[in-house]
């Protein structure tokens, strides 16, 4: 028995190695061919794009994780994109052309995001791609859209320190979410702060920025804790919070780990009255899924369902009427909604779907959109948009009462160049670390 | 010293949850040699059962006590279904069961994602679990005390069942020597089915406990499956007392490391410890001497 098994295993190993070798050879051959093509492609540049808008439609790609761990968040974004596409089509489309979308599944796997981006651009010949959630997915898509000169619209708040000619960012960068949250804490007279985050690039970068700004504001950081994204039990770390007795907890935890954090927080006897939490990833959709009342805690976002703007009621109504709707609207959903309309405005300003023409229009025109969060303006240089900062306090119906607003719209500053307390060497260090 | 007590208590509770997740595995993996990667999803089924029960009888004080037996039966039946339809065909091929059950776990995850809201569902803690127990000045969350009590009840019931009932004796006979057990008239087929039912059912109970600690969503099973396998392996295959000690040790190690270092490093350190231990003692804490040839 044993001998047979060993032989089979060995044979299998051989077959596997062989297959691997073949694949490698194929990939290398593919790379070689592509590398050979490149100079020619560079010569004729954007004309090499296979986007066909000669008919009555324009093809767009939606790239969201519909399976795997991130489907928890990205399914909603995908649904909102479909809704926005339907809306635009009912209104006559973009430059008179109806949107025909190709939905792809990123499957919570970053190499898949890169492969699907390439597929959407080279096989489906889409004019632009919308989606992504995690920074890892964006960083997987970035080199591909840059190499193939495609367009990618990214709808989620993130850690900043990035700007690509081929990416448009419609979520907040740090100076539109983290810094307003700190301004709010300073205005409240907070003296001590505890940082709790998931262990990945966004919380680590956000906390590096928070610590620098806190030093300037005179807020003392009394603790900093990280737990892996896929781990829910926060009891040990919450015990440290209890011991540190901070005035406030700054929460950069993401996903289901938030549920564990909130449960451990209440289990340990902490309350929003004494030790409130300010979060940057708990929104209208997450608040009711905590399994515990979270009333009284805070969140920093640009958009809240409770915002009173001219276009918000229509957005909420369309979403509530949409099939498979969760019934509530939230910041990332709104940013996804913005992304498609922003693209429409860009194309209309450019008068063309061509990537270079769109990018030129971003620089030469003032592109605005009357978003549910207010009238946002595209910054043609860094491809981010201006946003209002808002702090909401969770009420008994899991909606947010706006308790603080930045007033004017905050210009996007992904590299925090307008903030004197942010030293250049740390900027370089963080940019290098983020890859 | 006063830092040690909270970590010991907290670690014991973490260990208790690990134990609940590992108990079922110690039956299906330990006793039957089936590598069931869908065990984490049976745990998820238990957590969703807690949610569904709370929808029916409101999130009152009774919901969790009612959810426990329902989750046991529900997850157990799913396990039985898996055994009857798939696992029974591959008892002599452990690596194939691993691949097949990974597939089953993906199917169950996606099914949960389709059926329930993608953000996950809330499971509320009953009122009698609010508050803390004062242990030498440390407010020990009652929810943790409950996890430990639940684990203790499950372990006692399981070991009594294995030791004193005729079913238990037949299971042990089958584990020791399947062929000889068959010649004495034991239907090893029905014993296999029963073991799988109980093992999966225990995952359901673990799921109810997990739903009180973290999120209830399609991905929750993934965070328990690997630690649970490690605990079973470190405890010694087929040995309940080994599983108990290993779960407790891993729980306390996780908690202490999390206190001394960070939450992320604690995971790494605790698992390095288990791996080093398995290098030194590959058979685990305790071993069963069997007369079978496999």
Residue A47 confidence (pLDDT): 43
Q: Which of chain B's residues have a Cβ under 8 Å away from the Cβ of A290?
A: 122
Q: Are A259 and B13 inside 8 Å of each other by CB?
A: no
- pLDDT category, B95, cuts 50, 70, 90? confident
Q: What interface predicted TM-score (ipTM) does this complex get? A: 0.87
- pLDDT category, B283, cuts 50, 70, 90? confident
- Most confident of the ranges A47-56, A394-403, B56-65, B257-266: A394-403
Give the distance from residue B13's alpha carbon to the nearest chain A alpha carbon, in angstroms.
10
Q: Are B122 and A73 inside 8 Å of each other by CB?
A: no
pLDDT at A38 over 70: no
Average pLDDT of span B153-170: 93
- pLDDT category, B136, cuts 50, 70, 90? confident
Domain limits for position B51: 26-220
Q: Residue A242 to residues A222, A238, A248, A293, B178: CA-CA distances in angstroms?
A: 11, 6, 11, 19, 54
The rounded mean pLDDT for chain A is 88
Give the distance from residue B123's alpha carbon to the nearest chain A alpha carbon, in angstroms.
5
Structure-token pair, residue A327: 């019934």
Q: Are A292 and B110 inside 8 Å of each other by CB?
A: no
Q: Are A291 and B258 inside 8 Å of each other by CB?
A: no
pLDDT digits (tens, 9 = 90+) for A289-303: 888 889 999 999 999
Q: Is B55 exposed, middle or buried (0-12, 13-18, 19+ CB in 10 A)?
A: exposed
Q: Are A291 and B141 inside 8 Å of each other by CB?
A: no
Flag whether residue A226 sits within 8 Å of chain B, measured between CB atoms: yes
To probe the interface with A, which of B18, B107, B258, B261 has the most A CB atoms within 10 Å?
A: B258
- Which residues are A103's β-sheet partners? A62
Percentage of residues of chain A with pLDDT beyond 90: 74
Q: Which of chain B's residues have a Cβ under 8 Å away from the Cβ of A228?
A: 263-264, 267
Q: Are B263 and A228 inside 8 Å of each other by CB?
A: yes
Reading phi first (left if > 0) and then psi (alpha if -120 to 50, else beta), residue A161 is in left
pLDDT digits (tens, 9 = 90+) for A193-233: 999 999 888 999 999 999 999 999 999 999 999 988 888 88
DSSP string covering A140-155, please?
A: HHHHHHHHTT--EEE-
Flag whether residue B65 sits within 8 Å of chain A, measured between CB atoms: no
Give the distance from residue A396's alpha carbon to the nearest chain B alpha carbon, in angstroms.
15
- What three-state secondary structure class fits A117? helix
- pLDDT category, B286, cuts 50, 70, 90? confident
pLDDT at A8 over 90: no
Flag whether residue A239 sits within 8 Å of chain B, measured between CB atoms: yes
pLDDT digits (tens, 9 = 90+) for A319-354: 999 987 878 999 999 999 999 999 999 999 999 999
DSSP string covering A50-102, please?
A: ----SSSEEEEEEEE--SSTTHHHHHHHHHHHHHHHHHHHHTT-BTTBEEEEE
Q: How far is CA B183 from the centre of its chain?
A: 32
Residue B265 confidence (pLDDT): 87
Q: Which residue of A has its CA nearest to B129?
A: A267
- How many other β-carbons are positioned within 10 Å of the β-carbon of residue A57? 16
Residue A95 confidence (pLDDT): 95
- pLDDT category, B290, cuts 50, 70, 90? low
- pLDDT category, B137, cuts 50, 70, 90? confident
pLDDT digits (tens, 9 = 90+) for B148-158: 999 999 999 99
Flag whether residue B122 sits within 8 Å of chain A, measured between CB atoms: yes
Is the pLDDT higher at A419 or at B33?
A419
Across A176-185, B60-69, B85-94, least confident range: B85-94
Q: Which CATH number fits domain A175-307+391-434: 3.40.50.10540, 3.40.50.2300, 3.30.70.1070, 3.60.20.30?
A: 3.40.50.2300
The closest alpha carbon to A355, from A47, A136, A21, belongs to: A47
To probe the interface with A, which of B214, B260, B264 has the most A CB atoms within 10 Å?
A: B214
- How many other β-carbons are positioned within 10 Å of the β-carbon of residue B153? 12
Give the distance from residue A334's alpha carbon to the nearest chain B alpha carbon, in angstroms.
17
Flag whether residue A240 sits within 8 Å of chain B, measured between CB atoms: yes
Euclidean distance between the first and the last CA atom of chain A, given in angstroms as a whole number = 51
Q: Are A227 and B118 inside 8 Å of each other by CB?
A: no
pLDDT digits (tens, 9 = 90+) for B44-82: 999 999 999 999 987 678 899 999 999 999 999 999 999
pLDDT at A12 over 90: no
pLDDT at B20 over 80: yes
Reading phi first (left if > 0) and then psi (alpha if -120 to 50, else beta), residue A408 is in beta
- What three-state secondary structure class fits A306? coil
To probe the interface with A, which of B17, B95, B215 has the most A CB atoms within 10 Å?
A: B215
The closest alpha carbon to A154, from A432, A414, A384, belongs to: A384
- pLDDT category, A37, cuts 50, 70, 90? very low
DSSP A402: E
- Total number of domains in chain B: 1
Gap between the Cα atoms of B240 and B27, Å rounded:
9
DSSP string covering A211-241, please?
A: HHHHHHHT-EEEEEEEE-TT----HHHHHHH
To probe the interface with B, which of A77, A203, A204, A232 has the most B CB atoms within 10 Å?
A: A232
Residue A42 confidence (pLDDT): 40
pLDDT digits (tens, 9 = 90+) for A113-130: 999 999 999 999 999 999
- Residue A426, C-beta contacts closer than 8 angstroms, at least 6 positions apart: A208, A212
The closest alpha carbon to A132, from A70, A216, A208, belongs to: A70
**Architecture (CATH level 2) of domain A57-172+308-387:** 3-Layer(aba) Sandwich (3.40)
The closest alpha carbon to A379, from A410, A425, A333, belongs to: A410
Residues listed for chain B = 294
- Residue A123, C-beta contacts closer than 8 angstroms, at least 6 positions apart: none
pLDDT at A3 over 60: no
Structural domain spans, chain A: 57-172+308-387, 175-307+391-434
DSSP H or E run through A38? helix A2-44
Torsion of CA A325, A334, A291, B112, to 10 degrees: 50
- How many other β-carbons are positioned within 10 Å of the β-carbon of residue A143? 13
Average pLDDT of span A394-417: 95
Flag whether residue B267 sits within 8 Å of chain A, measured between CB atoms: yes
Phi, psi of A422 (to 5 degrees): -100, 100
pLDDT at A1 over 70: no
């Amino acid at each position: 028995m044993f001998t047979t098994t060993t032989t089979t295993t060995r044979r299998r190993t051989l077959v596997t190695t062989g297959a691997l070798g073949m694949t490698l050879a194929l990939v290398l051959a593919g790379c070689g061919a592509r590398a050979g093509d490149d100079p020619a492609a560079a010569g004729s540049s954007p004309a090499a794009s296979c986007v066909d808008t000669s008919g009555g439609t324009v093809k767009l790609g939606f790239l969201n994780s519909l399976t795997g761990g991130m489907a928890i968040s990205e399914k909603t974004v995908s649904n909102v994109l479909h809704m926005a596409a339907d809306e635009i089509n009912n209104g006559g489309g973009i430059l008179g052309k109806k949107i025909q979308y190709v939905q792809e599944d990123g499957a919570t796997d970053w190499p898949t995001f890169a492969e699907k981006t390439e597929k959407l651009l080279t096989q489906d010949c889409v004019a632009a791609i919308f989606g992504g959630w995690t920074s890892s997915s964006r960083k997987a898509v970035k080199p591909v859209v840059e190499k193939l000169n495609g367009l990618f619209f990214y709808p989620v708040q993130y850690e900043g320190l990035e700007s690509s000619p081929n990416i448009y960012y419609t979520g907040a960068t740090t100076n539109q979410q983290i810094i307003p949250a700190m301004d709010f804490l300073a205005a409240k007279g907070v003296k001590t702060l505890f940082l709790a985050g998931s262990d990945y690039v966004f919380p680590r970068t956000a906390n590096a920025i928070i610590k620098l700004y806190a030093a300037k504001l005179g807020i003392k950081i009394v603790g900093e804790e990280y737990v892996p994204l896929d781990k829910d039990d926060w009891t040990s770390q919450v015990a440290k919070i209890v011991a540190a007795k901070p005035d406030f907890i700054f929460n950069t935890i993401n996903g289901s780990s938030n549920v564990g954090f909130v449960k451990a927080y209440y289990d340990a006897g902490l309350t929003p009255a004494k030790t409130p939490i300010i979060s940057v990833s708990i929104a209208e959709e997450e608040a009711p899924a905590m399994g515990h009342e979270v009333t009284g805690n805070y969140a920093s976002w640009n958009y809240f369902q409770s915002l009173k703007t001219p276009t918000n009621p229509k957005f909420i109504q369309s979403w509530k009427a949409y099939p498979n709707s969760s019934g509530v609207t939230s910041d990332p959903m709104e940013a996804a909604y913005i992304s498609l309309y922003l693209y429409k405005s860009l194309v209309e300003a450019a008068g063309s779907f061509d990537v270079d023409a769109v990018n030129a229009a971003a620089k030469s025109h003032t592109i605005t959109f009357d978003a549910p969060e207010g009238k946002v303006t595209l910054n043609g240089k860094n491809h981010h948009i201006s946003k209002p900062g808002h702090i909401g306090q969770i009420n008994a119906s899991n909606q947010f009462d706006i308790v603080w607003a930045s007033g004017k719209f905050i210009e996007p500053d992904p590299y925090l160049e307008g903030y004197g307390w942010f030293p250049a060497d740390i900027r370089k260090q963080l940019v290098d670390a983020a890859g | 010293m006063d830092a040690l007590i909270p970590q010991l208590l907290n670690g014991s509770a973490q260990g208790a949850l690990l134990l609940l997740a590992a108990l079922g595995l110690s039956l299906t993996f330990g006793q039957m040699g089936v590598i069931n990667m869908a065990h984490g999803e049976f745990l998820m089924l238990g957590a969703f059962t807690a949610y569904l029960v709370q929808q029916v009888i409101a999130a009152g004080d009774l919901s969790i006590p009612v959810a426990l037996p329902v989750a046991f039966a529900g997850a157990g039946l799913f396990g039985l279904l898996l055994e009857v339809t798939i696992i029974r065909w591959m008892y002599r091929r452990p690596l194939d069961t691993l691949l097949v059950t990974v597939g089953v776990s993906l199917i169950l995850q996606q099914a949960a994602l389709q059926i329930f809201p993608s953000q996950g569902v809330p499971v509320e803690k009953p009122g009698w679990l609010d508050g803390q127990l004062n242990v030498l000045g440390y407010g020990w969350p009652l929810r943790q005390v409950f996890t430990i009590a639940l684990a203790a009840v499950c372990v006692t019931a399981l070991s009594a069942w294995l030791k004193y009932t005729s079913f238990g004796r037949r299971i042990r006979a089958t584990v020791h020597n399947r062929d000889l057990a068959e010649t004495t008239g034991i239907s090893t087929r029905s014993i296999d089915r029963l073991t799988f039912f109980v093992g999966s059912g225990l995952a359901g109970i673990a799921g109810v406990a997990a739903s009180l600690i973290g999120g209830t969503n399609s991905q929750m099973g993934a965070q328990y499956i690997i630690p649970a396998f490690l605990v079973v392996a470190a405890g010694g295959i087929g040995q309940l007392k080994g599983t108990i000690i290993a779960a407790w040790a891993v729980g306390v190690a996780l908690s202490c490391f999390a206190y001394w270092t960070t939450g992320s490093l604690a995971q790494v350190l605790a698992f390095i410890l288990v791996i080093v231990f398995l290098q030194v003692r590959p058979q685990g804490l305790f071993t069963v001497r069997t007369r079978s040839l496999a």
